[in-house]
Amino acid sequence: MVQNQYRHPTKVEGITVVGGAEIIASTNSGNLNIPFIDRPPQERRSEVAITRSTRYEQAGDAIREAINLLGGIDRFCKKGDVIVIKPNASGAFAKEIADTTHPAVVAATVRLFKEAGTTVIIMERPGFNERASRAYRATGIEAAALDAGADKLWDWEKEEYVEVDVPNPRSFAKVKLPKVLMEADGFIDIPKLKNNPLIGGLTLSVKSKLGLPPVNDRVEIHRSPVEMAAGCCDICKAIDHLHRLTIIDGIHGMDGVTHYGTICSPGIIVASPDLVAVEAVCHTIVGYHPLESPAVQIAMKDGLGTGDLSEIDILGTRIQDVYYPFARAHPRYVQKYTNVKEYFGGICRACLLGMTVVPPVVDPNKKYAVISGRRALVAKELSDFDEVYLVGECACRADHQHPGFMEKVKAAKKIIKLGKCPGHSSVAEHKWGGVYDHYRLIGPDMVACSVLPDAVNPNNLRSAYARREGKVTTL
The yes or no reply on domain 21-321 and CATH 3.40.50 is yes
Q: Which of 354-358, 371-375, 402-406, 465-469 has the lowest mean pLDDT?
A: 465-469
Domain spans in the chain, listed from the N-terminal domain onward: 21-321, 340-468
Looking at residue 220, its amino acid is E
Helix 275-285 and helix 294-301, axial crossing angle in degrees, nearest 10: 150
| pLDDT in the model for residue 218 | 72
Distances (CA, A) of 177 to 28, 170, 224, 240: 37, 17, 22, 13
Query: Cβ neighbours of residue 28 under 8 Å, at least 6 residues apart?
Result: 286, 287, 288, 325, 326, 328
Share of the chain above pLDDT 70, in %: 75
Query: Cβ neighbours of residue 92 under 8 Å, at least 6 residues apart?
Result: 126, 130, 134, 135, 137, 138, 139
pLDDT of residue 14 exceeding 60, the answer is no
For the chain, give the mean pLDDT. Answer: 79
Share of the chain above pLDDT 90, in %: 50
Q: Which of 31-45, 112-126, 251-265, 387-401 has the lowest mean pLDDT?
A: 31-45
| pLDDT in the model for residue 15 | 36
**Top mean-pLDDT range of 230-239, 322-331, 337-346:** 230-239
Secondary structure class of 350 (helix, strand, coil): helix
| pLDDT in the model for residue 237 | 97
pLDDT band at residue 335 under the 50/70/90 scheme: confident
| pLDDT in the model for residue 157 | 80
Contact present, 342 and 370 (Cβ < 8 Å): yes
| pLDDT in the model for residue 118 | 98
DSSP assignment, residue 197? Answer: T
Bond prior to 359 in cis (omega within 30° of 0): yes
For 42-87, write each residue's pLDDT tens digit.
778 999 999 999 999 999 999 999 999 999 999 999 999 999 999 9
| pLDDT in the model for residue 33 | 52
Q: Are strands 243-255 and 268-272 parallel, antiparallel or unpaired?
A: antiparallel
Beta bridge partners of 263: 254
| pLDDT in the model for residue 189 | 98
